[in-house]
């Protein structure tokens, strides 16, 4: 069972602050999120903050292109810190989608935390490198895309690889349009086996678990039977956790505080996840980042509207306002990941 050690409101400034990630790089904690006037708005920009103690935060970078910049994710390597994010570009004349323009993925990076590169487009249009992981000297990303702008629900998921984090190529297709995959994360195990959890737009919208072994040209699938939007893996000691947004109506374990929609699950074995802990949150919420620097503790960044929807903070338009939170949790569960040697 988990226990909240500390819980802080990091950003509350009247904006819609959302879609977070956190990492530890070069002796400091780094937090990133999107700031905009609404959940979807062309003034969306990427904010990067820095702290040495998780209490005092200062602005490190503001990243902005001509579109709606959103869903930033860190990838920290020894000599550089990368921030990848998606951008909905303005609609060109005659564009077939009435709601969104083209989608591109951008990256900005720094070698000192002070000087950041201008955002650079990576890979192809209408491909979203949702999260980038560094493993064994290379960058990997489960990237989802679509063929027709007006049919984004007919998405597919590819495993991309890069030697420098900038130039990417497709290694294999994880899932096709029949699965309608989108937001996804990957986790590499000893020996190179890789796990992937992806959100799906199917009905019911159960998340899907994929796994593969080198050279990653064949993938197997398991229906998780639960919904986990914006999944993010985290190792904590001998445990593997996955956090994301859960359905409030879904079954959850008893806990001493109300279970919000930002859920943390424990991976018991490939394709089997169970509720572990839910953080205080509701409304437009979740999209967490998770790190573990100690074998019995995790640090979670996320966003939520619960302060407005419950009346803690008075706001005339609560749907357009959201805050950034940071929680430190003690993780005392002794459940270990099952043996995977038979896969």
From the CA atom positions of the chain, what is the Rg in Å?
A: 19
What is the percent of the chain where pLDDT is above 70? 93
What is the percent of the chain where pLDDT is above 90? 85
Q: What is the pLDDT of residue 176?
A: 98
Q: How far apart are CA 215 and CA 202, in angstroms?
A: 28
Tell me: pLDDT of 128 over 60. yes
Tell me: pLDDT of 14 over 60. yes
Length, in residues, of the chain: 343
Higher model confidence: residue 105 or residue 342?
A: 105
Tell me: pLDDT of 2 over 90. no
Mean pLDDT over the full length of the chain: 93
Q: How far apart are CA 221 and CA 179, in angstroms?
A: 10
Q: What is the pLDDT of residue 253?
A: 65
Mean pLDDT of 271-285: 93
Tell me: pLDDT of 116 over 70. yes
Tell me: pLDDT of 314 over 90. no
Mean pLDDT of 120-140: 98
Tell me: pLDDT of 81 over 50. yes
Q: What is the pLDDT of residue 256?
A: 62
Q: How far apart are CA 82 and CA 72, in angstroms?
A: 10
* Among 82, 84, 117, 121, CA closest to 104: 121
Which fold is adopted by the domain 2-331? Neuraminidase (2.120.10)
Q: What is the pLDDT of residue 67?
A: 97
Tell me: pLDDT of 83 over 50. yes
The pLDDT confidence band at residue 315, using thresholds 50, 70 and 90, is low
Tell me: pLDDT of 337 over 70. no
Higher model confidence: residue 309 or residue 299?
A: 299
Q: Phi and psi (nearest 5°) for 22?
A: -140, 150
Q: How far apart are CA 104 and CA 115, in angstroms?
A: 23
Interval 235-244: pLDDT, tens: 999 999 999 9
Tell me: pLDDT of 319 over 80. no
Q: How far apart are CA 3 and CA 54, in angstroms?
A: 18
47-61, 161-175, 209-223, 317-331: range with lowest mean pLDDT: 317-331
Count the Cβ atoms, other than its own, within 10 Å of residue 235: 16
* Among 221, 223, 241, CA closest to 232: 241
Q: Phi and psi (nearest 5°) for 318?
A: -65, -25
Q: What is the pLDDT of residue 20?
A: 99
Interval 87-104: pLDDT, tens: 999 999 999 998 999 999
Q: What is the pLDDT of residue 257?
A: 65
| Neighbour-count burial of 78, counting CB atoms closer than 10 A to its CB (0-12 exposed, 13-18 middle, 19+ buried) | exposed
Q: What is the pLDDT of residue 339?
A: 34
DSSP assignment of 110-154: ESSSS-BPPPEEES-TTEEE---EEETTEEEEEEEEESSGGGTTS
């Amino acid at each position: 069972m988990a226990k909240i050690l500390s819980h802080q409101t990091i950003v509350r400034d009247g904006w819609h602050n959302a879609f977070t990630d956190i990492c530890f790089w070069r002796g400091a904690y780094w937090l990133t999120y999107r700031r905009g006037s609404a959940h979807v708005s062309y003034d969306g920009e990427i904010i990067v903050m820095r702290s040495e103690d998780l209490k005092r935060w200062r602005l490190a970078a503001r990243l902005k292109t001509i579109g709606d910049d959103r869903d930033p994710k860190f990838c920290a390597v020894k000599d550089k810190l990368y921030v990848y994010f998606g951008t909905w570009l303005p609609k060109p004349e005659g564009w077939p989608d009435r709601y969104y323009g083209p989608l591109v993925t951008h990256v900005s990076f720094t070698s000192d935390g002070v000087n950041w590169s201008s955002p650079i487009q990576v890979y192809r249009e209408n491909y979203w490198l949702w999260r980038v992981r560094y493993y064994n000297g290379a960058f990997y990303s489960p990237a989802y895309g679509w063929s027709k702008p007006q049919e984004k629900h007919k998405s597919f998921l590819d495993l991309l690889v890069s030697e420098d984090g900038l130039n990417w190529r497709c290694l294999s297709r994880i899932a096709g349009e029949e699965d309608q995959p989108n937001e996804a994360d990957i986790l590499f195990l000893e020996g190179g086996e890789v796990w992937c959890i992806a959100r799906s737009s199917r009905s019911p919208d159960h998340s899907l678990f994929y796994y593969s072994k080198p050279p990653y040209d064949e993938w197997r699938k398991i229906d998780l039977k639960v919904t986990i939007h914006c999944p993010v893996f985290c190792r904590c000691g001998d445990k593997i956790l996955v956090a994301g947004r859960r359905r409030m109506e879904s079954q959850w374990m008893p806990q001493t505080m109300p279970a919000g929609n930002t859920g943390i699950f424990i991976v018991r074995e490939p394709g089997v996840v169970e509720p572990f802990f839910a953080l205080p949150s509701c409304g437009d919420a979740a999209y967490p980042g998770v790190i573990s620097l100690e074998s019995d503790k995790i640090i979670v960044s996320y966003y939520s509207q619960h302060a407005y929807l419950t009346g803690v903070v008075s706001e005339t338009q609560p749907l357009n306002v959201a805050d950034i939170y940071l929680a430190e949790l003690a993780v005392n569960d002794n459940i270990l990941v099952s043996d995977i040697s038979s896969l």
